[in-house]
Amino acid sequence: AGSFTYLPATGTVLTAGSQTLTVTFTPTDTTNYTTGTASVTLTVNQAMPLLTCATPAPITYGTPISAATFGCSANVPGTFVYSPPVGTVLTAGQQTLTATFNPTDTADYTAATASVTLTVNRATPTITWPTPAPITYGAPLSVAQLNASSTVAGSLTYSPSAGTILTAGSHTLSVTFTPTDTTDYTTAAATVTLTVNKAAPAIAWATPAAITYGTALSAAQLDATASVAGKFA
């Protein structure tokens, strides 16, 4: 019979590593027994930091990733190393981001990693298409009107197409842009309004031969022709 006194005491939080625990035994019967001591070795393993990483909101292709994109925090002091690095522009699709945490207290904590999935949406190319100057009926559509452009490589398809002769009035011209890089970009469309002015018919009228007073005007003098169907007055 007797009592034990431990060192370190109950409740002590030990640092990681190999630790010696000591106990002193004090017998109730101190007449016949001396105090006694014993020790054991306890291995305290390093702890794994608790990492919390929020699911990032989707971004659009062309947007560089930042530390906020990873959205990671830890329950102990330390620093994060990100992969891919901050500032990287990722291709469109589902991308895995990894954060490695290096604790300040490397004696008691191990490094830890966490991953999140980031959705990178395809970007919509920007189309530049200035409003074309009016044309006159009879003039076919050409590159002067069908002159849209984009900073992204790809092809442009117009409607109506080049060579079309539009009727007079206001017309909407459309273009569809198909990017070469369909992984990172979507197709895009744009419109402009073209004014087609009415054309003036070409009238040909030869100078008539002289007539004598008293001669009534006839088709011999009134013989103008026009480049389009119609009637003369």
Give the pLDDT confidence of 105-121 residue by residue, as tens digits.
999 999 999 999 999 99
User: What pLDDT sits at residue 3?
Assistant: 97
Across all residues in the chain, what is the average pLDDT? 96
Please report which confidence band the pLDDT of residue 51 belongs to, taking 50, 70 and 90 as the band edges.
very high
Query: Do 150 and 127 meet the contact criterion of CB atoms below 8 Å apart?
Result: yes
Question: What gap in Å lies between CA 49 and CA 108, rounded to an integer?
Answer: 10
Please report which confidence band the pLDDT of residue 9 belongs to, taking 50, 70 and 90 as the band edges.
very high
User: What pLDDT sits at residue 11?
Assistant: 96
Question: What gap in Å lies between CA 71 and CA 97, rounded to an integer?
Answer: 10
List Cα–Cα distances, 86 to 68, 89, 90, 184, in angstroms.
9, 9, 11, 19
Give the pLDDT confidence of 200-224 residue by residue, as tens digits.
999 999 999 999 999 999 999 999 9
